[in-house]
Amino acid sequence: MGRRQTLDFNNKEFWSETEKIADEKLIYEFEAKIGHKLPENFIELSKMFHHGETKKARFYVNEDMSPTLSYMLSFNKENKANNIWGIPFYGLTEFDPYVVIAQDIAGNLIALDYSKSETEPSVVFVDHELLGMIFLEEDREYSDEEIEAMETSERLKDFPWAIFPVADSFLDFLNGLEGEDPPEDGEWYVDRDDTINNINKSIIDGIEKEYDFHFPQSYKNLIIQYHGKRIEYNPISNNDEFQFLTFYTLEKNSTLNLQRQIERKNKGFWGKIIPFGFGKGGTYAFDYSKNQVEPTIISMPIKQSLFCKNSIMEKYDTYIKHANNFEEFCNKMKYPPTVD
């Protein structure tokens, strides 16, 4: 059961500082760059827990979405991957009146929205999967030029269907976060979802038969217990840059289902690579290119795995190999389960 977290900058059990801010003047330099005054409580949080992470911080968007905050963006310019200074996100380069300040565990964006107030911006959630889609009104005709402009837009405000209100202010956002105590050493913490049904061996066998391939046996032993579950506190080889968080569920009616990913593979997007989950550091996948029985385990940047419609995934050279097989991958995590 989650415990409510109110605004308490001394709560080091909840917030942790990822890196020291190089100079607090960077905050005010950033304000001058964007032309907006940052909320005072956001500035205070940035000073106390710069590039802050939470052990677990879920927030409510709507009945279908309750994401988990991963980290606040860094004011340090040398942090090339996670800084706040206008790094392109999913091909976007123009964000005003939005200011991206954080990401969730799946790479979605949390932003301040200055469209209605310059002194008290609201907080919004940006679903990155919807950024790759174009929605056309049924009762209107569009020219080729209009459609091309929508497809190539680099402005966040041109994708209103991807933007969801979260809180009226940053303080309300902070006070709406919910956290839970960490697990004891030696076990995975699993976020149970009552909407996900149990599976059995016959369901796994059916997927293998339908799509004509075989999962590693160690994965099949494990997935019956953990499919579709969020797993917490498991840096791979003690590297906080890579943390596996969620196995894709094997239920077809679930948003994060494995079959959807495999069908993208069968259309030519994946080649001999099959994703099985995601987390901090990208999408995690089986790589069957060298061994059809015991695939290696790799990860790839989230953006690369989302926008792969024009080329075969195995041609990319930005993979990171984590293990020679699935069992070795599990044993590299901080709290490995039994895979027998």
> What digits encode the pLDDT tens for the residues 11-53?
555 677 778 898 999 999 999 999 999 999 899 888 888 888 7
Kindly tell me if the per-residue pLDDT of 112 is higher than 90.
yes
Kindly tell me if the per-residue pLDDT of 324 is higher than 80.
yes
Query: Position of tokens 């006070």?
Result: 175
> What digits encode the pLDDT tens for the residues 210-261?
888 889 988 888 888 777 676 765 666 566 667 777 788 887 776 677 887 7
Mean pLDDT, all residues of the chain: 77
To the question of pTM greater than 0.75 for the whole model, the response is no
> What digits encode the pLDDT tens for the residues 165-223?
999 999 888 888 876 554 444 455 566 555 667 788 888 898 888 888 889 988 888 88
- Bigger pLDDT: 274 vs 197: 274
Q: What is the pLDDT of residue 81?
A: 74
